[in-house]
Amino acid sequence: MTDLSADPPVPPGSTRARPEAIRAVPLRHPWRWVSAVVVLIVLGAIVDTFATSSLHWSVVGQYLFDARIPQAAVVTLYLTAIAMVVGVGLGILLAVMRLSPNRVMAWVSWLYIWFFRGTPVLVQIFFWWNINTILPYLSIGIPFTHLMVQASTNTLVTPLLAAILGLGLNEAAYMAEIVRAGIISVDHGQTEAAQALGMRRSLVMRRIVLPQAMRVIVPPTGNETISMLKTTSLASIATVHELFFVQQDISNFNYRIIELVIVASLWYLAMSSVLTVFQYYIERHFARGSVRGLPPTPIQRLRRMLFQFHAAPPLGSAAEPDGEPWLPPAMPHSGM
């Protein structure tokens, strides 16, 4: 039996000396210097253009934390979150339907994806926002009777709901394809082994297939979330008070159009950066079981660097390790 987690031990009686480390003359890379100079020149030109334009950075600074802007950013964030929850939930349902042996379900799913992927999301939001013009009242009731609940579409479909419907239903079509790819990527032997244990289709999907599909589903879902963060700007057409709508609202008064667009862009950038960090850790979480040891996170790497710096052996010491040691993530928690 082999213990796969441990490194092979160095034989204690090993007498052969380690040969001297290679110290070769490094290769020159002149193009790296050339490209650096070119990039500096281009950057300088861009900065110069903006510096000599009539852009007022002070206005950018003034509005960056104007109470209305962070408030709008919060709306953008929760619109993103709700639209993604709708998209992921419905997307999983559509993917499972698409792969179902029930032909009707598979066909319905195909039709949904065809329609919602084939029309622009802006048009879809616009459609939901104006639904009241063709359906002034919505009612749910028992067919062929007079028992029903009725509501005015105008009060029911708020700007936010129109945006959630437009963004969420559209996203579901894309998520369905992502989830389907994930489900297909799981080895069929897994389903068979689960079935052989007496597990039913739904249980196999929930406990065995979907958890393994997550590794394939999560990275593109992160992309979709970041993409959604910016797509929510389209909700401005339904007068949702999100970031893009609010900055436009402000610049309509003070005509500082570019300054406010920069303010909005900085907020979008900051929020997508935070999401990128989340994405990294979520992907790491779902990689468990697929790799034997996870590579260290940037924070763990930083800690290790600091730790090793303190504990570095004196130069020329024989204890110098050969190569980067593969530390499992549990190890470098000392210090800090």
Contact between residue 220 and residue 84 where contact means Cβ atoms under 8 Å apart: no
Q: What single-letter DSSP state applies at residue 232?
A: G
Query: Least distance in Å: CB of 190 to other proteins?
Result: 6
CA pair distance 70, 89, nearest whole angstrom:
28
Candidates 10-18, 58-66, 82-90, 289-297 — which segment interacts with other proteins by CB under 8 A? 289-297
Q: Is 2 in the site for other proteins (CB under 8 A)?
A: yes
State which of residues 11, 198, 321, 323 lies at the interface with other proteins (CB under 8 A): 198
CA pair distance 175, 103, nearest whole angstrom:
21
17 φ, ψ (degrees, to nearest 5): -75, 150
Contact between residue 182 and residue 88 where contact means Cβ atoms under 8 Å apart: no
Beta bridge partners of 141: 148
CA pair distance 92, 87, nearest whole angstrom:
8
Q: What single-letter DSSP state applies at residue 18?
A: P
What's the residue count for the chain? 336
Query: Least distance in Å: CB of 271 to other proteins?
Result: 31
Q: Is 331 in the site for other proteins (CB under 8 A)?
A: no
Hey, which residues between 223 and 262 contact other proteins (CB under 8 A)?
A: none
Q: Is 197 in the site for other proteins (CB under 8 A)?
A: yes
Q: Is 185 in the site for other proteins (CB under 8 A)?
A: no
Q: Is 327 in the site for other proteins (CB under 8 A)?
A: no
CA pair distance 82, 168, nearest whole angstrom:
8
Which C-beta is closer to other proteins: that of 135 or that of 184? 184
State which of residues 6, 21, 140, 196 lies at the interface with other proteins (CB under 8 A): 196
Which C-beta is closer to other proteins: that of 4 or that of 24? 4
Which one, of 246, 287, 239, 275, lies nearest residue 263 by Cα? Answer: 246
Which C-beta is closer to other proteins: that of 108 or that of 199? 199
Q: What single-letter DSSP state applies at residue 139?
A: E
Contact between residue 179 and residue 113 where contact means Cβ atoms under 8 Å apart: no
State which of residues 55, 64, 108, 199 lies at the interface with other proteins (CB under 8 A): 199
Which C-beta is closer to other proteins: that of 1 or that of 27? 1
Number of residues that bind other proteins (CB under 8 A): 27
Q: Is 218 in the site for other proteins (CB under 8 A)?
A: no
Q: Is 59 in the site for other proteins (CB under 8 A)?
A: no
CA pair distance 181, 177, nearest whole angstrom:
6
Q: Is 284 in the site for other proteins (CB under 8 A)?
A: no
Q: Is 292 in the site for other proteins (CB under 8 A)?
A: yes
State which of residues 290, 318, 322, 336 lies at the interface with other proteins (CB under 8 A): 290
Q: At CA 158, angle to CA 73 and CA 83, rounded to 5? A: 50
Left, alpha or beta for 187 (phi > 0: left; psi -120 to 50: alpha)?
beta
State which of residues 56, 207, 285, 301 lies at the interface with other proteins (CB under 8 A): 207
Candidates 76-84, 139-147, 198-206, 319-327 — which segment interacts with other proteins by CB under 8 A? 198-206
| Residues at the interface with other proteins (CB under 8 A) | 1-2, 4-5, 187, 189-190, 192-201, 203, 207-208, 211-212, 288-292
